[in-house]
Amino acid sequence: MWIQLKNVLLVTVLLSTILLTGCEDLEGLVTEQVTHSLNNVSFHMRLVPGSRFRELEFEQPPKRIVDGDYWIAETPVTYALWYEVITWATGNGYVFGNPGREGNNSVTGLAPTDRQTEPVTTVSWLDCVVWLNALTEYYNLLHGTEYTRVYYDGDDIIKDSKNLLAYDSLVEKPATTGFRLLTRDEWEIAARYLGPSKPTDHPLNLQVIKRRGFYWLPQNYVTGATDFYTNEGAMAAVSWYKVNSNSRTQAVGQKPINDSVLGLYDMSGNVSEWVNSPSVSANSNMRPFMGGSWTSDAFRLRVDRMSFRSGPNSTTGLRIGRTP
């Protein structure tokens, strides 16, 4: 859940040991939680160690590969967080094609209301890239950190999402430490990881995938669920989707974490989330998203499902990632 703080950086190391997320030849590690605070809004992130996940026992290469540790936000970006950053950014040289919307049906660019903890929507993939560069610069300004911005057009930092040519030339600069989109593999690994202890809920306990001592959700589940996506009760317990959303977005962080060992909310449903993927053509403005939304059928919320679209709409937001 979002916590209202002011100009403070809190770092909490959780002392419960969670053994790494499915990497090969694993040893026990301690997972960390960090709270990043702006002037009026904070967001929490969890550290996920790098992993190689095989859907099939002897799959080569592994289906999902993340070679380094990474941070993932506990929830999608709320409108309150989006608004604070974009307000600062537009006064400091950043340009946005879409100012964002509070949830699914408010006026775009409106000042936050009592729905401010709902996810931001109606932002393009490129809007998110520019916003994340702005978040990095703004955060450094507030805290004296030296996180490096991630997204470039040649040698220039991308600051204008109205420049659609940037879709062709955008690069993610190596070895940067600023805020960014998650990759498709990072998103799916975090969504599927269940930890070293076998779940006890039926029928999940009979269907989990075990790889080298660690358990993973099958591909036809959603994060936190204890049965297939076809089980409406299991879905509604952990996800906001077509059946139970009341045709709108909901405040983030309300559904129980259940078997999300990493402490992540809203991975399946509420809003789908823009991600990055090397499979996307550099000269296309079609971009991938994961997770399904408040309008989605259950099938579209499955943890392995990636879809594409070219522009903003009321069903898609983002979740923050970062490389340590």
Query: Above 70 in pLDDT, residue 10?
Result: no
Contact between 41 and 82 under an 8 Å Cβ cutoff? The reply is: no
Q: How do residues 91-138 score in pLDDT, each as one tens digit?
A: 999 999 999 999 999 999 999 999 999 999 999 999 999 999 999 999
Q: Average of pLDDT values for 128-150?
A: 98
68/106: higher pLDDT: 106
- Decide which of 3.40.50.1370, 3.40.250.10, 2.40.160.10, 3.90.1580.10 is the CATH code for 10-322: 3.90.1580.10
Strand partners of residue 121: 101
Predicted structure pTM score: 0.88
Q: Could you tell me if 188 and 304 are in contact, meaning their C-beta atoms sit under 8 angstroms apart? A: yes
How far, in whole angstroms, is CA 221 from its chain's centroid?
18
Predicted confidence (pLDDT) per residue in 156-212, tens digit: 999 999 998 888 889 999 999 999 999 999 999 899 888 889 999 999 999 998 887
Higher pLDDT, 75 or 29: 75
The confidence band for 75, taking pLDDT boundaries of 50, 70 and 90, is: very high
Sign of CA dihedral 31, 44, 318, 287: negative
Residue 183: partners with Cβ closer than 8 Å, 6 or more residues away? 66, 275, 276, 277, 278, 321
